Amino acid sequence: MIINAFIPRGYRVERSIEIAQDAETILLNIHSPKTYYNWMPWQIPKIEHLIMEKDDVANTKINWIRDHKKNQIMIIATNKSNNINMQINLDNDKRKLKAIFIISPIESDKSRISFALQGERTFITRFMNLLMDKFIGKEINLSLNKLKQLSEKER
């Protein structure tokens, strides 16, 4: 327990990949509820109820109930430099995470996408921050590779 006093409260895990596609197509694949499940990092088994809402590009919400707990992923901001911010609320809002996508055009038909996931832990569970890169990094890599396959298929 004493070691937790020396471990930061927050964590951040980030990965990047190059995709042979323009930034706009990648951006649309991230935003679209139709393609979201083809690449998303969180496979959601045993969903009891799912609602997807999309009223514009900067406001997409995916709500689901699992094990009688409400969960939500919400795209909360997109700016002209192709940055996407998501708020992820899990277990009836007990766990809140932020996801950030940064899409940087390299050439007209090639882009680099970085995906970061960050959150905070309570004092008692801070030791888990030391393992977050190992656990979450695999999921982020898998998701970026799926997004790459999806985006490059549209060429």
Q: For residue range 13-35, what is the model confidence (pLDDT) as tens digits?
A: 899 999 999 988 888 888 776 77
Are the CB atoms for 28 and 38 separated by under 8 Å? no
- Answering whether pTM is above 0.75, one says yes
Q: Which helix (H) or strand (E) holds 140?
A: helix 132-153
Q: Domains along the chain?
A: 9-153 (3.30.530.20)
Helix ranges restricted to H, 51-125: none
Helix ranges restricted to H, 5-109: 23-31, 33-39
Q: Phi, psi (5° rounding) for residue 122? A: -70, 165
Q: For residue range 74-107, what is the model confidence (pLDDT) as tens digits?
A: 777 666 667 888 888 877 667 788 888 889 989 8
Task: Calculate the average pLDDT of the chain.
Answer: 79
